[in-house]
Structure formats: C-alpha cells, structure tokens
Chain A
Amino acid sequence: MTWSEMQPLLEQACWDTLYMVGWSTLIAVVGGLPLGVLLVLTDRGGLLQNTVLNKVIGQVVNIARSMPFIILMVALMGFTRSITGTTIGREAAIVPLAIGAIPFFARLVETAVREVDGGLVEAVQSMGGNTWTVVRKVLVPESLPSLIASTTTTIVALIGYSAMAGTVGAGGLGDIAIRYGYQRFETELMWITVGILAVVISLIQFVGDYAARGLHRRGGRSGAAPRLRLLKSRAPANAGSQASAGPGSMDGSAEAPATDIGKVA
C-alpha cells in the first residue's frame, strides 16, 4: 500500500474518530456533570441528603462502569437502532460511547466536587444562598480545574472506546487498524495508526493540563493542588481517576500504588 492510497483512508478515519469522540464527550459532560453533582448532594450530610436516591444512582453508575464496553455496545444495539435507525456507522457508535462515558465522567465529577471545602458551602449558606446557588457559585467553579482534568481523562478513555466501536463497523482509527493492519497484514498502516493516536492523545492531554493549570494558578489553594503536581510527572489523567478507577476503566496505565510506609520503618 502506498502513501497516496493510505492518506484518504487515514484522513477519513481520523475525522470519524474525532466526530465520535467529540459528540460522545459532549453528551457525557452534559449528562455526567449533573449526575456527579447529584451524587455528592444526595450523599449523607449533603445538601439534598437522600440516601435512597443516592444508593440508586450509585448502583446504576457502578453497574454501567463495570460493564465491558464491547458488551455494553452489543447490549445497547436495540436502543441504538431506536435512536439512530441503524447499529452501524459513526452516528450509531455515539450512543453506546456516550452511555458508557456518562457514569465514568459522573464518578470523576463526584470526586472532584467532593474535594471542595465544605466551609465554602457554609459561607454561601450563611449569606442566604440556596442549593442551586451553592452548585453554581461554589461547587462547579471551585472544582473547575479538577473538572477539566476529568474531562481530559474522559476524552482519552473515549478514544480507547471508539477504537473498539471501530471493530464492529463504526469506522475510525480502530476500524483501520483491524481491517487493514490486522486482516490485510498492512503493518506499516498499523504503525501509522498507532503514531497518530499517540500524537492525538498527547495533544489532548497537553491542552487539558494547560487549561487546568492555568485556572489553578490563579486559584491557589483549591482541592486540585496536589493532583496537578502529579499531572506534571507522569500518567497524568489517572491521578484524577485513581480513586474511582474500577475494573471497567479503559486507561490501564494507572499510577503505581504508593510505596508501603511499613517498608521504610
């Protein structure tokens, strides 16, 4: 295969991947943000304490999180068809991608929002603010650097999911890799795909970190401080998801566990 043959293929695949990831990220943020905030608010001691609702949401999120994506994709086929009219193609892939990413992002939002100092919530309450004011003026703005880091993690995870969607006919870079790289032994094309993915992911990570750090710099002592220091070293996005990274998370490069203090003693 020559470069002139590969180029249009790769170009189309890139756009397909970005299209799928872009839309599903948008839906994941729109759906996951309120869900994550609700998880914090309804928790015990929260502003809208409601143990039953909290347990129900938590359980749904957990089940959705622990589902292997490839199974979720197949299981949702009926639902996907009812929305997009087909189960093949990039539009169809957005449905399972978004549904898989919402609980993932919701958990990240939950950890980020939980880190906001309770004193700030109290301060706004003492000014006569209601719950909605607290969410709008405190919880979201104060956790924004962490939320941006969480979004970056979600995008990177979605690129992984989208490659899997490619194997069942959604197009994109995963599709190229399996159809050309694997089934037609086009090793060269395979490596180019890997290279493109590496570049795209690094770029997204860089932009995400830059935005989070920029916001954080003016913020000073907010919950995100230690996390961003971790971001600088290695395995950046995982620092944020560590606490919530369950068996279903796609990013396998989680940081090494903290060294055992017992060893030092």
Chain B
Amino acid sequence: MHPCPAHTHALHSTVTETPVITTTGLTKVYRAHRARGHEITALDGVDLHVREGEVYGVIGQSGAGKSSLIRCVNLLERPTAGTVTVAGQDLTALAGRGPRAGRELRKARSNIGMIFQHFNLLSSRTVQDNVELPLEILGKSGKERSRKALELLDLVGLTDKAKAYPAQLSGGQKQRVGIARALAGDPKVLLSDEATSALDPETTRSILHLLRDLNRQLGLTVLLITHEMDVVKTVCDSAALMENGRIVESGTVTELLATPGSELAAALFPVSGDASADDRTVVDVTFQGDAATQPVISQLARTYNIDISILGAAMDTVAGKQVGRMRIELPGRYEENVVPIGFLRERGLQLDLVEAAADTAAADTAAADKAAQASVPAKEGAK
C-alpha cells in the first residue's frame, strides 16, 4: 500500500456487476416502550443493490430512515423484516433470535468497516492504539498490530500523529483516524454514517477524496449516507433518494440524469430562472455522455440564426463524465421553436419544457437570479 497519490483521476472506476450489499424488503419498526400501539416505521421495504467497487450514496432529509438503513446493514440495528446480504453472506440469518450478536455475526461485522459522524474514537487511547483496536478484537499479535496500524496511518497521511491523542487532532484528522481504524480488518465494504457532516467544506472535500482514492486503490465498496447533495456529486457512482423510509429513486448518476422528472437529478443539478418575456420558450437541456462534449448550443445558434440566452446552468464532471443541466431561453413561443428543439433532441440531449411560472414570488426573485447568473453565458459560450 502506498500513500494516496495526489492525482488519482488516471485510476479507473472499479465498479463490477457483482452485488456486494443487497437488502430485500428491509423493514424497521420502532415501538415506543410505554405507549402500546404507537409505532414508527423507519424503513418500509427497502431494496438496495450496491455493486462491488462502487461508491453508493443514500441521500435524504433527517428522519427519512437513512441512519436506520445503514445501521441495519451491519445489524447494529435489527431489522423487523427483510434480509441483508453483504459479500454473499446473509447477515440476517446469522443474527439469531436474541438481541445479542453471536460469534458468527461478530465475525461478519469485522469484515465491514464503519465510520461515523462524530468519529467515535476512544479518547483514552493514542491514534495508533485506536487503529489497533479492531486488530485486538481479531486477536492479532502485538507486532502485527503495530505494523498494520502504521501502514494504515501512512495510507491516510497521519504517520506523524501515531502517538497523539484524539483530543489533539482536528476534525478532519480524527475522521482520517476513523477511516484507518475502519480499514484495519481489511474490509470489502465501508459504511459511512454521515462521515463528513461534522466537517467544514474544505475538510469534507479532502475526506471525500480520500474515500474516492481508497475506493479506486483497494477496490473498496463504499455505502455512504448523507444529507448533502455535494457529497453525492463529488464521489458517488450511484445514488438513492430516501423519503419516509422508502427509496423513491435510485441508479447511477448518469441513469438518474437520463430519467425525465428525476427529483434526484434536479437536486444534483439545480437550474432556475424564468422567461424574460411572454413570447419566449424556456427549455431545460440535460447533458450526459458524449453530447456534453459538443458545442451544441453555439451550433444551434449558428444553424438557425437565433439568439439563445442561458438562464442557468449546472455542469459538472461526475465519475469522469461531463454531465449537467442547462436552462436556455429561445425567442418565440413553443410552436415556433419546434425545429430548434428537434435539432437538440437529435444531438442526443434530453429536453424538458419549462412552463412559465405564474406566481409573483418567482417573478420577484427572477431579477436577482439573472444578476447572479450574468456571468454564466460568457463561461458557457466557450463550449
């Protein structure tokens, strides 16, 4: 193992079609202890399919059931119904009836790494001793433990902090220790429970890049839950949107973008802006795959000699591909623009017609929006 190279873009995605985490009909119902009959359904028949070597993000608001989901994957939480299979092993079958985890389940858990929002490092132990903890549980010898721990600290870039205590570290460093600790048992799967939610944006980015690097270098499958769209955008190959204990949308980021009316795609690539006058047509253009690399907008303007203004755009490079959405405005009503729209569709772009927003509130903010987006056309013009 080598320390993370600065540029990992050359490394290709390690996603295979082998399923690594599969849940079927996962249901979790919490019963309030005293009040009989008062039940809360945290998970309502969740089917999750995470392929080997991918970074899979589950996003949702608090209370959507994300936390219950990830805790059910290593059975920290016992599902009420449904099955969990990790790396071909049916964990729900290992769990047994009692509330305590049996030997089999504990062994299976040691093959699943987990990192936490609040790091959960033992304050009474040094960084190195924290990383050694899972190895102690696995019954490894002292020499082997310290060799492995130092190797992992090197991997996360914290060799010089081995003898420090967690209290002396910054949030980002603590999470790096958490990651090193989670990897000590050479897991195939890493569960990340809001691992970046307590960190500032800069640190979040560096932790996410570390996860991405580990995913690429070690072929590690990462299942992460988050409430931040940026996290999904930065590292995830696939994503799922959770609402009220159900997965309402899921798929690879490109698949989601290709799905008309996808909430997740809209949230990942938000565009806004309203028509500047009544006789205009506003269209959302979704770029994905090869189409994103062609200068289609300027081609359109030249071919039909029309003026196009860009109201808003959200473009990004996801998993090495350029994807995104753009809201453009064409002169004239929809009926007059059938030909240019056909031209764009022909180029492999997905188009959604935006109905004119009638509410006054939107009109009020339109001016501000336009000011904010003034710089966008110039930038995008280079395409």
Known: A119-B118, A122-B120, A142-B122. A220 touches B74 (CB 8 A): no
Q: Which residue of B lies closest to A129 (CB)?
A: B137
Q: In whole angstroms, how far apart are the Cα atoms of A119 and B115 in the complex?
A: 11
B127 CB → nearest A CB, Å = 12
Q: Which residue of B lies closest to A138 (CB)?
A: B122
Residues of A within 8 A of B33 (CB): 44
State whether the Cβ of A219 lies closer than 8 Å to any Cβ in chain B: yes
Q: In whole angstroms, how far apart are the Cα atoms of A48 and B125 in the complex?
A: 25
State whether the Cβ of B123 lies closer than 8 Å to any Cβ in chain A: yes
CB-defined interface of B87-116 with A at 8 Å, one 1/0 digit per residue? 000000000000111000011111010101
| Docked complex: A91-108 residues within 8 A CB-CB of B | none
Residues of B within 8 A of A117 (CB): 118, 120
State whether the Cβ of B133 lies closer than 8 Å to any Cβ in chain A: yes
Residue among A124, A125, A144, A221 with the highest chain B CB neighbour number at 10 A: A125
Instruction: Say which size band chain A's interface belongs to.
Output: 20 to 34
State whether the Cβ of A8 lies closer than 8 Å to any Cβ in chain B: no
State whether the Cβ of A12 lies closer than 8 Å to any Cβ in chain B: no
State whether the Cβ of A68 lies closer than 8 Å to any Cβ in chain B: no
- Establish whether residues A131 and B100, one from each chain, have CB atoms under 8 Å apart when the complex forms: yes
Q: In whole angstroms, how far apart are the Cα atoms of A142 and B133 in the complex?
A: 14
| Docked complex: A105-156 residues within 8 A CB-CB of B | 117, 119-120, 122-131, 133, 137-138, 141-142, 144
- Establish whether residues A126 and B114, one from each chain, have CB atoms under 8 Å apart when the complex forms: yes
Residues of A within 8 A of B82 (CB): none
- Establish whether residues A219 and B133, one from each chain, have CB atoms under 8 Å apart when the complex forms: no
Residues of B within 8 A of A129 (CB): 106, 137
A138 CB → nearest B CB, Å = 7
| B123, B136, B181: the one within 8 Å of A219 (CB) | B123
Known: A127-B134, A128-B107. A219 touches B165 (CB 8 A): yes
| A44, A128, A131, A141: the one within 8 Å of B137 (CB) | A128
| A126, A131, A144: the one within 8 Å of B76 (CB) | A126
- Establish whether residues B168 and A220, one from each chain, have CB atoms under 8 Å apart when the complex forms: yes
- Establish whether residues B124 and A221, one from each chain, have CB atoms under 8 Å apart when the complex forms: no
A88 CB → nearest B CB, Å = 44
- Establish whether residues A218 and B167, one from each chain, have CB atoms under 8 Å apart when the complex forms: yes
State whether the Cβ of B138 lies closer than 8 Å to any Cβ in chain A: yes
State whether the Cβ of A49 lies closer than 8 Å to any Cβ in chain B: yes
Q: In whole angstroms, how far apart are the Cα atoms of A127 and B187 in the complex?
A: 10
Known: A125-B76, A127-B110, A128-B138. A220 touches B166 (CB 8 A): yes
State whether the Cβ of B185 lies closer than 8 Å to any Cβ in chain A: yes
| Docked complex: B256-299 residues within 8 A CB-CB of A | none
Q: In whole angstroms, how far apart are the Cα atoms of A251 and B258 in the complex?
A: 72
- Establish whether residues A125 and B133, one from each chain, have CB atoms under 8 Å apart when the complex forms: no
A247 CB → nearest B CB, Å = 29
State whether the Cβ of A167 lies closer than 8 Å to any Cβ in chain B: no
State whether the Cβ of A47 lies closer than 8 Å to any Cβ in chain B: yes
- Establish whether residues A141 and B125, one from each chain, have CB atoms under 8 Å apart when the complex forms: yes
- Establish whether residues A144 and B124, one from each chain, have CB atoms under 8 Å apart when the complex forms: yes
Residues of B within 8 A of A120 (CB): 120, 122
CB-defined interface of B17-38 with A at 8 Å, one 1/0 digit per residue? 0000000000000000100000
Q: In whole angstroms, how far apart are the Cα atoms of A219 and B167 in the complex?
A: 6
Known: A125-B109, A128-B107. A220 touches B123 (CB 8 A): yes
Residue among B76, B120, B137 with the highest chain A CB neighbour number at 10 A: B120
Complex A-B, nearest 8 residue pairs according to Cβ-Cβ distance, in ascending order = A220-B167, A128-B110, A123-B120, A127-B134, A128-B106, A126-B114, A119-B120, A219-B123
Which B positions have Cβ atoms within 8 angstroms of A? 33, 74, 76, 99-101, 106-110, 112, 114, 116, 118, 120, 122-125, 133-134, 136-138, 165-168, 181, 185, 191
Name 27 A/B residue pairs within 8 A (Cβ), A-sorted. A44-B33, A49-B99, A119-B116, A122-B116, A122-B120, A123-B114, A125-B76, A126-B76, A127-B109, A127-B137, A128-B134, A128-B138, A130-B101, A131-B100, A133-B137, A137-B122, A137-B133, A137-B137, A141-B125, A215-B124, A218-B165, A218-B167, A219-B124, A220-B165, A220-B166, A221-B167, A222-B123
Which A positions have Cβ atoms within 8 angstroms of B? 44, 47-49, 117, 119-120, 122-131, 133, 137-138, 141-142, 144, 215, 218-222
**Beyond A127-B137, A218-B167: 11 further Cβ-contacts under 8 Å?**
A49-B99, A120-B120, A126-B114, A127-B110, A128-B138, A137-B122, A137-B137, A138-B122, A142-B124, A219-B123, A219-B165
